[in-house]
Amino acid sequence: MRLRMSVAALLLVTITGQSWSQEVPYNRKVNLLVGESQIIHGVRARSCGETPPTWNDLKFRISDILIGTFSDAGIGTQRSRRCGRIVPVRAIRFTATKKGRKRITVSGDPISIVVK
């Protein structure tokens, strides 16, 4: 069974050129120092299991905030409550640029960011 899953994952990577092996966390509370970066969440496609949005599509829905910037962290996986399974997501990285606090919402999930 494990060999079949590994072969299937290898074929998927070969066909799509994407690796979905990175598990993307959902961090409700992010604490960083200025200059640090962290993957904070992932955004899935509207339909469960579909290819997640491109960064170009997503970056317009997530605007930078005064204490940092958001960037593409690639494709990964995340357990979706709505889908009831692990699905591919576009990972979002936050880079702290200035001390402060901010509450944001990503895909309906609240995230509290503190930069020291």
Task: Summarize pLDDT for 29-63 with one digit per residue, the tens.
Answer: 999 999 999 999 999 999 998 999 999 999 888 87
- How far apart CA 53 and CA 50 sit, in angstroms, is 9
Parallel/antiparallel/unpaired status of strands 68-80 and 100-106? unpaired
107 vs 28: which has the higher pLDDT: 28
Phi-psi region of 6 (alpha: psi -120 to 50; beta: other; left: phi over 0): alpha
pLDDT recorded at residue 110 = 95
DSSP secondary structure, 39-84, as one string: EEEEEE-SSTTSPPPPHHHHTTTS--BTTEEEEEEEEEEEEETTTT
Note the pLDDT tens digit of each residue in 65-110: 999 999 999 999 999 988 999 999 999 999 999 999 999 999 889 9
Domain definitions of the chain by residue range: 20-115
**pTM summary value:** 0.79
